Amino acid sequence: MVDFKSDRYTLDTLLGEGNFGSVYKALDKKTDTFVAIKIEKSQKISQIDMEIDVLQHVSGEEGFPKLIDFGKYGDKSYVVMSLLGQNLHKKFQSIRKIINVETVLDIGLQCLQRIKTLHECYYLHRDLKPQQYLIDDDLHVCLVDFGLCKKFMNSKLMIHIPYTDNRPFVGTANYASLNTHLGIQQSRRDDLESFCYILSYLLNGQLPWIPVDKTKYDEKTIKKMKTSVAPSNLFSSSSLVQFFVYVKSLSFEKVPDYQYLFELINQALFEEKSSSMSIFTVDGSTNSRSSKKLKKKRSRKRTVVNSKFKRSNLCRSLDNINVSVNDSDGTMVCDQLPEFKDRKAFKETLLKAAAENPLVQEKLNCCVM
Ligand SMILES: Nc1ncnc2c1ncn2[C@@H]1O[C@H](COP(=O)(O)OP(=O)(O)OP(=O)(O)O)[C@@H](O)[C@H]1O
């Protein structure tokens, strides 16, 4: 644990560690509540001033941490903020990237709203990635980590920062915009491009430059892959393809039409709702159960649109959930919830079965989530 002593705060557990600091859960003895403290690693260029600056502007806005305190302990600067949930990246890892598409799109809407709020305060985030979104048990999303933010507009004179190139790379290679790789000064369009990569990652469980087998590409290779990526490689929904194409068409200073972007996600949500085939059977059986036991269980399984699951499927342990569709014989199509990469194939199988068998179609119609 980092050397940090304070009359007011008692460090509890480490919540996360980044390149620039460590974040701890701590007890605030003054208010008798738990808070989050970010303690900066000693370094030449401090980011904590920008973090505090942005927090002072966004504190109190929906989906942002509240700034509680800041100061210095020895040569280390720290900032205290409200304690939030787990980061989206970890959350998705812990449920093995299995989550229904509607919930991902709901989360996506919140992620986009946070970017809009930050832009309305004239800040760019410049390091958007799933790790920067924290999510609580009610699936409420907050944005954190403002150390790399940059003011893009002089709020008094309303003058936009100028277009420049040959800039050093700022951000995280996997989610950075292509222009960031190319050394072009970032503006609002770049945060939105990062958002597209985050959304694609959450929907598909991978990005062309972040394969599921954990291969890591270097920044140059990622840049090359982004140069040639087709929108359809990122999204299967035509509305989301439109979203990506719009973001890529934005000029440097252009104010993005956020309303249009929200509508496109809502459109994707609508498309998904009308075609979704996710049918969940909660029967308590584990994947390792013998087929005999499974068969017995299956005979009394409930095909449900589990309301708790629907409301909060990110928070449940999915270990005991099987995916199935009952045809006329009660045949189980799939033993486990499919990984995202298999979801498309799974849906195709179901659609095919439904097209061939009206009874399956009927079951699907009444079980669509
Ligand atoms: N307010 C908070 N409440 C709970 N957990 C938090 C909070 N702030 C940060 N964390 C956790 O700590 C992790 C690292 O935080 P943060 O990204 O701010 O640190 P960083 O050192 O700037 O990281 P990076 O190297 O990614 O820039 C987050 O991903 C999250 O898991």
Contacts of 302 by beta carbon, 8 Å cutoff, 6+ apart: 281, 282, 283
Binding-site entries for ATP: 38
The reply to whether 101 and 178 lie within a common domain is yes
CA of 36 to the centre of ligand 1 (A): 9
The reply to whether 254 and 345 lie within a common domain is no
Binding-site entries: 38
Q: According to the model, what pLDDT value does residue 132 have?
A: 97
Half-sphere exposure of 329 (CA within 13 A, CB side): 5
Is 64 a member of any domain?
yes
Please spell the DSSP secondary structure of 216-263, one letter per residue. ---HHHHHHHHHH--HHHH-SSHHHHHHHHHHHH--TTPPP-HHHHHH
The interface predicted TM-score (ipTM) is 0.94
State which ligand 1 atom lies nearest to the alpha carbon of 147. Answer: 22
Q: Which of 2, 38, 137 to mutate to test the pocket of ligand 1 (most atoms within 8 A of CB)?
A: 38
The reply to whether 225 and 326 lie within a common domain is no
Q: According to the model, what pLDDT value does residue 168 have?
A: 96
CA of 309 to the centre of ligand 1 (A): 28
Q: According to the model, what pLDDT value does residue 302 have?
A: 30
> What residue's CA is closest to ligand 1, atom 17?
145
State which ligand 1 atom lies nearest to the alpha carbon of 131. Answer: 29
Question: Phi and psi for 173 in degrees, rounded to 5?
Answer: -50, -45
Is 141 a member of any domain?
yes
Q: According to the model, what pLDDT value does residue 283 have?
A: 31
Is 367 a member of any domain?
no
Cα 89 to Cα 143: distance, rounded to the nearest angstrom:
13
Q: Which of 145, 146, 169, 172 to mutate to test the pocket of ligand 1 (most atoms within 8 A of CB)?
A: 145
Q: Is 191 a catalytic residue?
A: no
The reply to whether 38 and 155 lie within a common domain is no
Segments in the chain below pLDDT 70: 1, 43-44, 95-98, 275-351, 353-354, 357-369
Q: According to the model, what pLDDT value does residue 339 have?
A: 37
* Whether the Cβ atoms of residue 92 and residue 131 lie closer than 8 Å to each other: no
The reply to whether 64 and 102 lie within a common domain is no
CA of 21 to the centre of ligand 1 (A): 8
State which ligand 1 atom lies nearest to the alpha carbon of 89. Answer: 29
State which ligand 1 atom lies nearest to the alpha carbon of 90. Answer: 31
CA of 105 to the centre of ligand 1 (A): 23
Cα 58 to Cα 362: distance, rounded to the nearest angstrom:
49
Q: How many helices (H) and strands (E) does the chain have?
A: 13, 15
List beta partners, residue 22.
17, 39
Using a 6 Å CB cutoff, which residues line ligand 1?
15-16, 18-21, 23, 36, 38, 65, 81, 83-84, 87, 127, 131-132, 134, 144-145, 147
The reply to whether 69 and 98 lie within a common domain is no
The reply to whether 332 and 258 lie within a common domain is no
Last residue of a domain, one of 64, 82, 100: 82
CA of 357 to the centre of ligand 1 (A): 50
> What residue's CA is closest to ligand 1, atom 23?
18
- Structural domain count of the chain: 3
The reply to whether 179 and 49 lie within a common domain is no
Is 369 a member of any domain?
no
Catalytic residue among 49, 75, 127, 257: 127
Is 303 a member of any domain?
no
Is 28 a member of any domain?
yes
CA of 127 to the centre of ligand 1 (A): 12
The reply to whether 263 and 341 lie within a common domain is no
Is 211 a member of any domain?
yes
Q: According to the model, what pLDDT value does residue 350 have?
A: 62
Determine the structural domain holding residue 26 and report its residue range. Answer: 9-82
The reply to whether 149 and 284 lie within a common domain is yes
In CATH, what number is assigned to the domain containing residue 60?
A: 3.30.200.20
Q: Which of 19, 68, 128, 144 to mutate to test the pocket of ligand 1 (most atoms within 8 A of CB)?
A: 144
> What residue's CA is closest to ligand 1, atom 11?
16
Is 368 a member of any domain?
no
Residue 45 per-residue DSSP state: S
Q: According to the model, what pLDDT value does residue 214 have?
A: 77
Q: According to the model, what pLDDT value does residue 76 have?
A: 85
* Whether the Cβ atoms of residue 309 and residue 239 lie closer than 8 Å to each other: no
The reply to whether 71 and 96 lie within a common domain is no
Q: What is the pLDDT of residues 122-165, one digit of tens each?
A: 999 999 999 999 998 888 999 999 999 999 999 889 999 999 99
Last residue of a domain, one of 17, 50, 82: 82
Last residue of a domain, one of 82, 107, 126: 82
State which ligand 1 atom lies nearest to the alpha carbon of 65. Answer: 1
Q: According to the model, what pLDDT value does residue 41 have?
A: 81
The reply to whether 283 and 195 lie within a common domain is yes
